[in-house]
Structure 1
Amino acid sequence: MPFAGHAQNPIIQTIYTADPAPMVYNDTVYLYTGHDEDGSNWFTMKNWHVYSTTDMVNWTDHGSPLSLKTFKWAKKDAWAGQCIERNGKFYWYVATFHKKDKNSNGGAAIGVAVSDRPTGPFKDAIGKALITNEMTTDMKYGWDDIDPTVFIDDDGQAYLFWGNGSCKWIKLKDNMIEADGPIHTFKPKHYIEGPWVYKRKGLYYLVYAGAGTKPEMIEYCTAKSPEGPWTYRGIIEGNVENSFTTHPGIIDYHGKTYFFYHNGALPTGGSYRRSICVDYMYYNQDGTIKKVIQTKKGVEPVK
């Protein structure tokens, strides 16, 4: 929805979208999103959506190739996720809530779907949850196993990070659907939820929704290894318009860094009817991140 040569924020205005997870593949940006239902007064979410662009201004809607119905073991809530490519397959890790059955007594869980194409259709990769609430015991409530982010290091080792209240991580096997070792937990400063992990110029970044000076803001840590230790670096995004949550997604594309987030800025929006935005993000020479400036006009077209 361009105007005056820019992408207007929010970038998707046909439905409510939340929890952005961008991915660059074959010189195209794919954006994986959650979907707040119309008129919602809670995080009422039943499916996930995919969009794509090659100019960062005009977005193609690929519909909903993944929903709660994809996971037979899921009970409710299609919450945040992230998709990544490996060996020609696309693995989409998502947060949802588990039915009470022989594998779990309920609570938040992480599933993984797989497809041969970035736009789907996706199917349940293992027929059960990858992470259930019973696997983590450091937080004594049922919604701590949410918001998965996945990262593949230069040596091919894959990592899955997630968590509310504490940040948790595991190594993944090469097949991307099995844990390769124990679950680790730690608590970055001000950490709430929504981690996003990536590497730039030999430095690892852990970006997340945090308490800041008033929750939620986007804060970050850096490390020399994806296994830590992590050093807190500060706030990079303040509170967003008309939503008490925000959620980061970061990519490099055509020589620029793009910072995705959500707010409640649509005329009928709010904290439970959110919309995804994107603005530029810049680094200092030492690798620290400058504070993101939120705009309404958005980014310029890729040249």
Structure 2
Amino acid sequence: MQKNVKMICNNPIIRHKYTADPTALVYDDTLYLYTCHDEAPIGTEKYVIREWLCFSSSNLVEWNEHPVPLKSLDFKWSSGKAYASNVIHHKGTFYWYVAIEHAITNESAIGVAKSLSPKGHFKDARGSAIITLDMLPFTDNKKANLDPSVIIDNDGQPYIFWGNKTCYFAKLKENMIELEGKIGILDLPEFEEGIHIHKHNSWYYLSYGHQMPEKVAYAMSRNIQGPWEFKGILNELAGNCKTNRPAILDFKGKSYFFYHNGGLKDGGSHRRSVCVDYLYYNPDGTLKRVVMTSEGVGQV
């Protein structure tokens, strides 16, 4: 059954579970928030992620938790280890791109699931990984395939960005579950992981985990295929947590920056918590540095 989580608007916004690596979309006047579920027991300092969660809100104050829409083992080729993800809506279907460990190779891979509802349940759209390590140019990094982010360009062409230590990108075919053409590499300063792409007005933005521990930095371009201009830090180190992964979108006339920290009781790098604060654009299209707050955002 759907669980209604009513809370005062503050950060972290989800307080009864540890959540991380937010991805979000707006559909039917509702914001849907998807997160990893950090399940590492207290005292365990390693990632234990086996499923992703779904929450929704019409006002960013009250959040409805929906039944678990997707688990790593819903992909039969998965070992069960899960990482960050990205959900998008395209032509009536919701596509969920996830980073998981491949059961045969024990290397990170990208999978894709789909559903006709933003709440799921989502099912493996291929029966196999869309991206595996042997497809990448010049790498032996077993965690190279992390943190996918997908965008549909104005001409209808979908693109996927992802990576760990190196940022990769590629076109997707119209069916959204196959790559089209070669995999490219982007030279982003001190790129760690956690890539997120979005577009605002005529600018494309790549936000990502920068250095380690991770701040969030960003680059801008007029063309999705570059060149990209590095613009600096967008978000400082998140409290009590070595990683960060942003999600940026507009909702009911304002712009929002979702991220995670270790702000809940017994929280930390492996028991993280999703937060949200306002995002502001300068007149020239650059981004103002995000101010992380305990208060969070006001009711929409």
Q: Shorter-chain TM-score: which interval?
A: over 0.9
- Contact kept, 8 Å, 1:152 with 1:159, in 2: the verdict is yes
Alignment partner, residue 274 of structure 1: 272
- Which of the two has greater strand per residue? 2
Q: TM-score, normalised by structure 1?
A: 0.95
The answer to whether the 8 A contact 1:157-1:172 is kept is yes
The match for 1:51 is 55
Residue of structure 2 in register with 1:287 after alignment: 285
Find the residue that maps to 2:242 and give its secondary structure.
Answer: coil
Tell me: CA distance 1:71–1:42, structure 2 relative to 1, closer, same or farther (3 Å): same
SS of match in other structure, 1:69: helix
Cα deviation, residue 270, structure 1 = 0.7
Cα distance in 1 for residues equivalent to 2:190 and 2:287: 17
Residue 18 of structure 1 aligns with an amino acid whose one-letter code is A
Gapped regions of structure 1 (runs ≥ 5): none
Distance in 2 (CA, whole Å) between partners of 1:171 and 1:90 is: 18
Distance 2:32 2:118 in 1: 7
- The percent of aligned pairs where both chains have the same amino acid is 45
Uncovered stretches (5+) of structure 2, i.e. residues with no partner = 1-5
Secondary structure of the residue that 1:80 maps to in structure 2?
strand
Give 1:81's aligned amino acid: S
Deviations 1:98-123 (A, max 9, x none): 011xxxx3300000000010000010
Tell me the CA shift for residue 8 of structure 1: 1.1
Q: Which residue of 11, 14, 37 corresponds with 1:12?
A: 14
Q: Which residue of 2 aligns with 1:186?
A: 186
Query: Which residue does 1:35 correspond to in 2?
Result: 37
Q: Which residue in the other structure is 2:3 paired with?
A: none
Question: 1:178-257 maps to which residues of 2 (within 5 A)?
Answer: 178-211=178-211, 215-257=213-255
Distance in 1, matches of 2:169 and 2:120, equals 26
How far apart in 2 are the matches of 1:44 and 1:13? 18
Contact 2:158 2:176 in 1 (8 A): yes
**Structure 1 residue 63: Cα displacement:** 2.8
User: Which residue is 1:158 aligned to?
Assistant: 158
**Distance (whole Å) between structure 2 residues aligned to residue 53 and residue 290 of structure 1:** 26
Residues in 2 aligned to 1:123 and 1:13: alpha-carbon distance in whole angstroms: 28
Whether the aligned pair in 1 keeps the contact of 2:281 and 2:287 (CA below 8 Å) is: yes
CA contact (8 A) 2:73 2:80 kept: no
Give the superposed CA RMSD. Answer: 1.0
Equivalent residue, structure 2, for 1:75:
79
| Cα deviation, residue 174, structure 1 | 1.1
What's the TM-score once normalised by structure 2's chain length? Answer: 0.95
1:23 aligned to 3, 22, 25, which one? Answer: 25
Provide the secondary structure at the position in 2 that maps to 1:204: strand
- Count of residue pairs the alignment pairs up: 293
